[in-house]
């Protein structure tokens, strides 16, 4: 009986060692994948931004956004994930793909509240809703959220101004500006 118990314990220890070894290999593989993907992203960024005077190549920009999103999908716990989503949102906004920009900013909003640019994400959502998607209701919601949550942020004044002018036609804006300048 004692021999049976010892064999059983030895078998359990062997199984645990195999599991630990397998887990370590998975972590090592993920780290390698992350490393190679970060290097690929860096190389593509260099290529995309190497000529500052020319317009950005749209195909390269789309590829860059795809890489950023793929990295954030695969390595959601990595500290670079929200940064890459933010960059994907910026490129999407500049490529006139505001819905994609909102999608990436929403992922940050929902999953990375400690991200250093989190307040800017909220502001950018408001801005994109206002200026690209013409959704005044959501723009108002996000400007108000930004102001309430970050009253000391350097963009609060811009958010307040945007709320004041939100929904005004060009003619109404001209009238307000004329009154202010007099």
pLDDT digits (tens, 9 = 90+) for 101-138: 999 999 999 999 999 999 999 999 999 999 999 999 99
165 neighbors 155 (Cβ within 8 angstroms): no
Rounded CA gap, 104 and 39, in Å?
22
Mean pLDDT calculated for residue range 141-147? 98
Residue 7: pLDDT band (50, 70, 90) is very low
Q: What one-character-per-residue DSSP string does 88-138 give?
A: HHHHHHHTT-HHHHHHHHHHHHHH-TT-TTHHHHHHHHHHHHHHTS--HHH
Stated pTM of the model: 0.78
* 51 token code pair: 């000529």
How far apart are the C-alpha atoms of 96 and 79, rounded to whole Å? 27
What are the residues whose beta carbons fall under 8 Å from the beta carbon of 121, sequence distance 6 or more?
86, 89, 105, 108, 109, 115
């Amino acid at each position: 009986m004692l021999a049976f118990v010892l064999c059983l314990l030895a078998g359990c220890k062997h199984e645990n060692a195999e599991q630990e070894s397998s887990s370590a290999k998975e972590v090592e593989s993920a780290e390698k994948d992350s490393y190679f993907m970060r290097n690929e992203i860096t190389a593509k960024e260099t290529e995309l931004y190497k000529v500052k005077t020319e317009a950005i190549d749209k195909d390269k920009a789309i590829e860059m956004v795809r890489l950023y999103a793929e990295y954030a999908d695969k390595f959601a716990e990595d500290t670079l994930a929200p940064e890459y989503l933010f960059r994907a949102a910026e490129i999407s906004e500049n490529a006139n793909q505001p819905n994609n920009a909102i999608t990436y900013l929403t992922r940050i909003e929902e999953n990375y509240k400690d991200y250093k640019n989190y307040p800017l994400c909220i502001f950018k959502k408001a801005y994109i809703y206002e200026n690209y998607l013409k959704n005044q209701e959501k723009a108002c919601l996000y400007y108000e959220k930004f102001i309430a949550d970050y009253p000391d942020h350097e963009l609060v004044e811009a958010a307040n101004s945007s709320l004041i002018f939100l929904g005004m036609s060009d003619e109404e804006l001209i009238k307000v500006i004329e009154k202010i300048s007099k």
